[in-house]
A and B are shown apart, each in its own frame.
Chain A
Amino acid sequence: MTQKSYAAIPGTIIFDSEMARKGYHLNQFCMSLMKEENRARFKADEDAYLAEWAMTPDQRAAVRARDYNRLLSLGGNIYFLAKIFSSDGLSFAQACASMSGMNFDEYQAMMLAGGRAAKSNLIEDR
């Protein structure tokens, strides 16, 4: 396999064909939460609902833990994972705060001040 030019970008997982293959069932599980009846079944018994999908034990555990960085590394795509945190009543900004290890107030303050500076996050600085 060729070297991925984007692999060195810190704090970033690119949802490429390898990740899409790995995360197919995880992401399709997420998609199922678009339907209210599925959300209700998931909330009533998460383990039972997750057992219906051909996901890996790691993926199931990461869903149970709502560990979104882990889910990204296991092939989850953020637009699909959004169906989980939306079901929990969380916004994208709240999820972004948690993925970047900040509390929501700190994250909001950072965004109001112009966002995370690109400079400290570029490859050149590693």
Chain B
Amino acid sequence: MARITAGVATSHVPLLGRAIDSRKMAEDYFRPIFAGYEFSRAWVSAQQPDVVILVFNDHASAFSLDIVPTFAIGCAEEFQPADEGFGRRAVPIVKGAPCLAWHIAQSVIEQDFDLTIVNKMDVDHGLTVPLSLMFGQPAEWPCRIIPLAVNVVVYPPPSGRRCFALGSAIRNAVESFDQDLKVQVWGTGGMSHQIQGARSGLINTQWDLAFLDRIVDKPHEAAAIPHLEYVREAGSESIELVMWLIMRGALNTHVREVHRHYHVPASNTALGHLILENA
């Protein structure tokens, strides 16, 4: 049977993709950011997941306002890196896991989550930057990826509670899949940031650090945080953090925190990163 072995949370700041692609990781600005991922790369290569379910949001790359799915699961064989206006990132094509993805779609729809099924979707920095942070610059990504896109562009995004419950439903789906696979769930985006309007540049370190504690030790409390609190306390774009709750909902109530990294600034953003294993 397939099983969920661990969860990863990480910001997906586009500047970090550009720093990796142009090999600027050793520069003063970037060194402390990437230093926090050295443990993570060693950890993930020891773990050798077969599949990563990668929860991310599209930033008006694959989805315009023509279609705005709240939750969309990528069931295709492969996904191209998106051209976000500067050409496609020179990273490997993302290979999907269609059998498991279709199984998850069917299973979670039967558990009352009406996912949108997507077979054609370019994946932007929301998905490719976490892959680069965790895997570096391989010729091929070392595992299969199931993209799970969440709308956080048009307000309201799904609630934290709904995201957490979707994570639990995904866990049920994975555990009923008849292949021996090690599956990780990654939640991406956040932490505090606001990249629009007069309040641009807002960072709330105190709130972020409390969120890291809450999502590890009191996941139900973290899931109950209302949208207003994210927007008010940690900036309009911090609401991406609801995507971390899908990851958290897929894990046990009690988890072991094996790694934590927090750094300000990464471009306009407070960068946060966690690795959690089922206790």
Residues of A within 8 A of B (CB): 5-6, 9-17, 20, 24, 27-28, 30-31, 33-34, 68-69, 72, 77-80, 82-83, 86-87, 92-93, 95-97, 99-101, 107, 110-112, 114-118, 121-123
CB-CB under 8 A from A14, the residues of chain B are 155, 231, 236
CB-CB under 8 A from A31, the residues of chain B are 60, 64-65
B202 touches which of A16, A68, A116 (Cβ 8 Å): A116
Question: What's the Cα separation between A72 and B232 when bound, in Å?
Answer: 18
A72 touches which of B60, B197, B270 (Cβ 8 Å): B197
CB-CB under 8 A from A114, the residues of chain B are 203, 205, 264-265
8 closest Cβ pairs, A-B complex: A115-B203, A11-B199, A11-B198, A96-B200, A118-B204, A78-B196, A79-B60, A116-B201
- Cβ–Cβ contact A78 & B195, under 8 A: yes
B184 within 8 A of A: no
Question: What's the Cα separation between A101 and B198 when bound, in Å?
Answer: 7
Q: How far is the CB of B207 from chain A (nearest CB, A)?
A: 7
- Cβ–Cβ contact A13 & B203, under 8 A: no
Question: What's the Cα separation between A114 and B271 when bound, in Å?
Answer: 12
The total number of A-B Cβ pairs within 8 Å is 146
Residue of A nearest to B201 (CB): A116
Cβ < 8 Å to A, chain B residues 157-179: none
User: With A6-B232, A15-B155, A118-B206 given, can you name 10 additional A-B contacts, CB distance below 8 Å?
Assistant: A10-B199, A11-B197, A69-B198, A79-B59, A79-B153, A96-B195, A100-B199, A116-B199, A118-B202, A123-B232
- Cβ–Cβ contact A118 & B60, under 8 A: no
- Cβ–Cβ contact A12 & B196, under 8 A: yes
- Cβ–Cβ contact A77 & B64, under 8 A: no
Interface size class of B (residues with CB under 8 A): 35 or more
Q: What are 27 A-to-B residue pairs whose CB atoms are below 8 Å? A: A6-B155, A11-B197, A11-B200, A12-B197, A13-B197, A14-B155, A16-B154, A17-B155, A20-B154, A30-B60, A34-B83, A78-B196, A86-B85, A93-B267, A96-B201, A97-B200, A99-B200, A100-B197, A114-B205, A114-B264, A115-B192, A115-B201, A115-B202, A116-B200, A116-B203, A121-B199, A123-B232
Interface of B is mostly: loop
B64 touches which of A17, A27, A86, A92 (Cβ 8 Å): A27
B198-230 contact mask (Cβ, 8 Å, vs A): 1 or 0: 111111111100000000000000000001100
- Cβ–Cβ contact B267 & A99, under 8 A: no
CB-CB under 8 A from A118, the residues of chain B are 192, 202-204, 206-207, 233-235
Residues of B within 8 A of A (CB): 14, 59-61, 64-66, 83-86, 153-156, 192, 194-207, 227-228, 231-236, 264-265, 267-268, 270
- Cβ–Cβ contact A16 & B156, under 8 A: yes
Chain B CB within 10 Å — which of A6, A87, A115 has the most? Answer: A115
Residue of A nearest to B237 (CB): A78
- Cβ–Cβ contact B233 & A13, under 8 A: no
B264 touches which of A87, A115, A123 (Cβ 8 Å): A115
CB-CB under 8 A from B270, the residues of chain A are 115
CB-CB under 8 A from A96, the residues of chain B are 195-196, 200-201, 268
Chain A CB within 10 Å — which of B61, B202, B265 has the most? Answer: B202
B195 touches which of A10, A16, A28, A92 (Cβ 8 Å): A92
| Contact A13 B196, CB 8 Å, known A24-B65, A31-B64, A34-B85 | yes
- Cβ–Cβ contact B154 & A17, under 8 A: yes
- Cβ–Cβ contact A112 & B265, under 8 A: yes
CB-CB under 8 A from A110, the residues of chain B are 201
